[in-house]
Amino acid sequence: MAWLTESFSLPFMQRALVIALIVGAVGGVLSAYVVIRRLAFFADTLTHTVFPGVAIASVLVQPLWIGALIAGLASTLAFTFLSRQRLVEDNAAMAVILTTFFAVGVMVVSRVTTFTNDLITLLFGQILTVDRGDIMASALLGGCAVLLTSVLHRELVARAFDPEGSAAAGRPVWALDLALNVAVTLVVVAALRAVGTVLVLALLVTPAATIRPWVRGVVPMAIGGALVGMSSGVIGLVIAYQASVERDVRLAPGATIVLVMTTVFALGSLAVWARRSIRHRVST
C-alpha cells in the first residue's frame, strides 16, 4: 500500500484528498434525494443555470465561493419559480434553459482575456490548487446541504413518494422543492474548486444510482452514496497522481474521479445483472 501513502505525502495532495472526501460525501448524500425524485435531468439543468451566476461572480467577487453562492442561489430561486409556473415541465423546455444559461455564462467569462483558463477552471475545477479557505468553504456549504436534507428527510421522502398525499396533508410542496434545489446549489458551489460545475452532476447522481440495487431505503442510499463518493475521490486522486509522477501521463484529477465513479457504477450494474441471472437460474 506504499503507493497510497506516497500519493498523499505532499500537502497539496492531502488538501485535494480532504476536499474530495468532503465533496464526495456530500454529493453522495444529496444524490439519494436527487435519484428518488428522478431529478437527474433537472439537476443537470440546475447545475447549468448556476453557471452564469458563478461566472459573473468569479470576475467580480473574491473569494469565489461567496459570489458563487449568492449568484447560484439567485439562479436557483429563479429557476424553481419558473418550474413552479409549469413553464419548464418538459425536457425540451429544460434543454433550452440549460443551454441558454450556459451560453450566457460562457459569454460573461469570455469578456475577460484569460477566459479559457478561467472557464476551464469553473467548469472542471482545479483540485490540485485548493487551499485551506476552499476546504473550509466546501465543508461549510456541504455541511449545510446535508443538514438541510437531514432535517427535512421525512418530508422530502414523502414528497418524492407521494406528491399528492404530501399536498393533501397540507405540506407546502413548492417549499420542499425549493429546499432540495437550494441543497443541490450548495453542493455545486461546494464542489466548484474540486470538480467544477459540469462534473458535479456526476457526484449528484451516480453514487445513489450505483448503490440503489443493493440497499433498501433512502437513508442507506444516502450513506452508501456518501461512501461511493468518497472512495471514488480517493481512488481517482491516487490514479491521477501515480499516472503523472510515475508515468508522466496527464490525467485531469476531477475527471478521473468522475470516471472512477462511472466505472464503479458499471461494475455494480454488471453485478446486479449477474445476481439476477443467478437467482433466475436457481429458481427455475
The least CB distance from residue 244 to other proteins, in Å, is 4
Strand (E) or helix (H) holding 189: helix 173-190
Nearer to other proteins, 6 or 70 (CB): 6
In angstroms and rounded to an integer, the radius of gyration of the C-alpha atoms of the chain is 19
Tell me the closest approach of the beta carbon of residue 13 to other proteins, in angstroms: 7
Provide the CA 144 distance to its chain's centre, in angstroms.
14
Provide the b/e sequence for 241-265 (b: ≥16 CB within 10 Å).
bbeeeeeeeebbbbbbbbbbbeebb
The least CB distance from residue 97 to other proteins, in Å, is 25
Minimum separation from the CB atom of position 78 to other proteins (A): 26
Give the footprint of other proteins on this chain (CB under 8 A).
Answer: 10-15, 17-18, 21-22, 25, 29, 36, 110, 112-117, 120, 126, 128-132, 135-136, 139, 142-143, 146-147, 150-151, 153-155, 157-158, 160-162, 164-165, 167-170, 212, 215-219, 221-223, 226, 240-241, 244-245, 248, 250, 252-253
Q: Which is nearer to other proteins, 98 or 200 (CB)?
A: 200
Least distance to other proteins, CB of residue 259, Å: 16
189 or 240: whose CB is closer to other proteins? 240
Minimum CB distance to other proteins smaller for 78 or for 175: 175
Task: Say which residues have a Cβ less than 8 Å from residue 48's Cβ, sequence separation at least 6.
Answer: 97, 98, 99, 101, 102, 197
Q: Report residue 252 CA to chain centroid gap.
A: 17
Closer residue to other proteins (CB): 98 or 109? 109
Q: Is 250 left (phi over 0), alpha (psi -120 to 50) or beta?
A: beta
d(CA 134, CA 111): 25
- Please identify, using beta-carbon distances, which residue of 98 and 234 lies nearer to other proteins: 234
Rounded least distance, CB 88 to other proteins, Å: 20
Q: Rounded distance, CA 175 to CA 163, Å?
A: 13
Cell of 90: 418538459
